[in-house]
Amino acid sequence: MMRRLTRAGLLIVALLAFVAPKAEAQCTLSFSSLIFPAYTGTAVPGTATGTHTGCSGDSGTTTLGPGTGVGGSETIRYMTGPNGAVLAYGLFTNATMTNYFGNTAGHDDQWTGNQSIYVYGQITAGQYPAPGTYTDTVQSPYPPSGTSHPISVTETILKNCMVTATNLAFGTYLATATSTSTSTISVTCTNTTPYNVGLSGGASGNVAARTMINGTHVLKYSLFQKSTYTTNWGNTVGTDTEAGTGNGLVQPLTVYGQLLSGQFVQAGAYSDTITATVTY
């Protein structure tokens, strides 16, 4: 008797699913450029905006380096312009500009999740460097990515001059003697900027025949550029004005006043108002 053997094969199938580990969210930070308005010696504010993205559930600290300008620090930074000229400015964490934005505790920005960060800038008043474009680059080291994100800082300096003057007082005048006195005009112009300082004619309207007034009475006097009392100071550029070139600092100019003897006028107080004009 023949016995037939039947074999059954068992097919074993395994489905293997390969699941890649979930990648950690990668935070990124980018800043807009900080472009200040035109600067003419008065404090100028500006703002740059940074944006954290891909940071849901994360938190951290944003700091700012001193910038590429030579000598820059957390409290003062420098933009560099023509021929290495510098322009000082500051970066702050608050709009009132009382807390510097830097890389030490209390001078950084604490963030949580996706959000914006603001950098408030201000150029220090009273600077008169050479006209031109000034730039700086401030880096923001940014963990956890380990990269650094730059803020581009730019300013344009325009030619500018400021002028002030002291009073010129002759004191008591005696008709038997010539009287003299001086005044100081202080000129501050951007470095390398040529300028001319002119003086108006005052009440008389004539720079060559100025007069002080007391009611209907007049007292003649003159204003000169030199202590020799020979070069009249008027307001025609290239003819009778005082020329100079700005150096970014205060430059004093002396006005020499003279009252000639022999004017027997009504007793009293005489005065005139002269306008000093800087052309640049």
Residue 280 has pLDDT above 50, yes or no: yes
Do 235 and 243 meet the contact criterion of CB atoms below 8 Å apart?
no
The residues pairing with 142 across neighbouring beta strands, listed in sequence order, are: 147
For residue range 42-74, list pLDDT tens digits in order.
999 999 998 888 777 778 888 999 999 999 999
State mean pLDDT over 222-226.
98
Give me the chain's average pLDDT, please: 89
Q: What is the pTM of this model?
A: 0.79
* Token duo for residue 133: 């474009």
Angular region, 51: left φ>0, alpha ψ -120 to 50, beta rest: beta
Q: What is the pLDDT of residue 142?
A: 63
* Structural contact between residues 160 and 126, judged by C-beta atoms closer than 8 angstroms: no
Structural domains for the chain? 28-157 (2.60.40.3480), 161-279 (2.60.40.1090)
- Which pLDDT score, from 0 to 100, does residue 145 have? 58
The model's confidence at residue 211, banded by pLDDT at 50, 70 and 90, is very high
Q: What tens digit of pLDDT does each residue of 143-169 get?
A: 555 677 899 999 999 999 999 999 999
Percent of the chain residues topping a pLDDT of 70: 89
Kindly calculate the radius of gyration of the chain based on its CA atoms and give it in whole angstroms. Answer: 36
The pLDDT of residue 13 is 41
Secondary structure class of 83 (helix, strand, coil): helix
- Partners of residue 254 on adjacent β-strands: 184
Percent above pLDDT 90 for the chain: 76
